[in-house]
Structure 1
């Protein structure tokens, strides 16, 4: 698969490296040709401009600061699956700086671009060497040309387990979860033991249950 990254920072480099190792052709794109070339060399990808990376991939990773995500996403051509891994973090109090980056991006791109939210719950250090069976929540509308299934395949290529998390309308919840967790980590807490091991522990009635 041909994958372009919009951005040449730590997240783009980490995910690009994993996909190169899985046999994909990856172009790292950035505003700085020098930084893009350095990142690409480290992981065995090729380098290009943002425009070149947007046009290169069947799949494009949006890995730029949230405040410029909508602007950069407009470079992506029709017929592309666009993975949004951004989080809009207000670092003053670790709350959301924007209600839903993914939905704003989806509204800004053409109707033929399928936006999928994924890979936003972990830092670049995790993606460089994911633990076995790490779950990757994926928010994407199934009616949009199977983009979520493509992203699920890329998650499996990293040794991870894709976790269907609903349509793109739920991406705001995924982004809020990431910001919430970041705030706890920064304050010295540990979120790893917060979730119960089974759905029944949430006290909800599951489909098919009386």
Structure 2
């Protein structure tokens, strides 16, 4: 599968590297040509180029830029993104005296900004380091990757990308439910930062009386 990545930072490199290892043809796109080149070379991606190059390359396109910049970027690229699966891995969260809070939900904003693209919320719950692992599994259970999507073909593309890196797709409904994934990220990241273990809150169903 052709995968375009908008961005050159940690998530771009980690997920781009995972998909490259899985045999997908990844193109890293960035505003800075040299950074795009370095990121692509560091993960063995097929190519690098501009943000528009990445948007046009992908059967799927990952939005891997800071949440605050994502809506305008997607709006600017609405033409080349039309008809494509656009995966939003951003976390629109803000730090407050009460801890991390969800800012304005992002996935719906990107869907509105992208026009004819098929936006999916996915890959936003785990730290960037998790995506550098080969076939991530914990307690002998493959990592589940929740996603929200409205379009069946986009859901299928997302499931292929999840499965190809050894993880288990976890469908969580339509894009209207994406805000729940974003809020979950705010809760989980806050717990991790305070030394807690979000995983400990969810016992396996087989062990529930």
Q: Provide the TM-score with structure 2 as the length reference.
A: 0.90
Pairing partner for 1:197 from 184, 187, 204:
204
Structure 2 unaligned residues grouped into runs of 5+: none
2:103 aligned with 1:97: yes
Deviates most, 165-174 or 183-192: 183-192
Q: Secondary structure at the match of 1:192?
A: helix
Match of 2:11 in 1: 11
Q: Provide the TM-score with structure 1 as the length reference.
A: 0.90
Match of 2:61 in 1: 60
Higher strand share: 2
Q: Secondary structure at the match of 1:91?
A: strand
Distance 1:82 1:127 in 2: 18
- Superposition RMSD in Å: 1.6
2:46 aligned with 1:37: no
Deviation at 1:159, TM superposition (A): 0.4
Q: 1:35 to 1:171 in 2, by over 3 A?
A: same
Match of 2:112 in 1: 107
Higher helix share: 2
2:172 aligned with 1:168: no
Distance 2:106 2:125 in 1: 14
Match of 1:122 in 2: 126
Q: Secondary structure at the match of 1:70?
A: helix
* Superposition map of 1:144-159 within 5 A: 144-159=151-166
Match of 1:177 in 2: 184
CA contact (8 A) 1:114 1:145 kept: no
Structure 1 unaligned residues grouped into runs of 5+: 204-210
- Which stretches of structure 1, 4 residues or more, deviate above 3 A after TM superposition? none
